[in-house]
Structure 1
Amino acid sequence: MSYEEETEDVPFTAEIEAEFRQIARGRAPVKLAQLAEAQGDTDAFAHLPSAAAAAFHLEQFADAKQFAERALALAPAFKENWNYGNAIHCGHSAWPSRSQCSKRYHRNQRAIRIRQNTRFAATQYFWADDAAC
């Protein structure tokens, strides 16, 4: 059985969700440090999407919004860059106000509870979770 098949076969539980959130929070300081060490716009553009998501996971909402706005502002200059799609996706995911993110978060939590004990790709959830809210 492949890894993908195995993850589809495992029910997505609240415990697994908590583990994924902990992983994202554990990785967040490294992602923020990478952005802080970035030299110039090209280097920053590579790190802004993950830094926006990292700041969101650490509940640093003002920083998340700032990083998202900067990623979106730089994006037109980097349309041929490998990270362009990530910047647009994460930029728009971290863009909403805290209250909007909170509403989306709780709506997503309800959907996750409905999917509990059903087949749900944990890898897909992790990507969506990494995108902030």
Structure 2
Amino acid sequence: MSSRTGAAEQHLRDLALLRRVRDRIDRDHAQPLDVEALARGVNMSAGHLSRQFRLAYGESPYGYLMTRRIERAMALLRRGDLSVTEVCFAVGCSSLGTFSTRFRELVGVPPSTYRREAGRATAGMPACVAKQVTRPVRNREARASGPDLA
């Protein structure tokens, strides 16, 4: 077996491990997760996992986790039956300040403003469509270098 073939096979194994990490984040986003625990689950160091995850998905595992939490928070806030604090804890965040800061970074408005305005903006829309049109952009570079729609 050539070194090129061996490297390609290792790359595919690494991608499968990274997909397992991403799937775990998607499934368990409301649970307490940290990069060290995620890395242990796939027998990688935290630093190696972070570097490889960023290369594969465009953001760190922590950034991806927070994006998933914010997406879920947006859905809960659109329902309107929970307070911002209740939503913060329901999606797995332990700090209202960190949650609010990250929410504003990804969505563009604070969670309280989103809660107040989102119901009107998505009124009459099926939940699956509302989720798609309100999904935050995960990769900040995508905003800056995205296609010009003008």
**TM-score of the superposition, structure 1-length normalised?**
0.32
Higher RCO (CA-CA < 8 Å; seq separation 6+): 1
**TM-score of the superposition, structure 2-length normalised?**
0.30
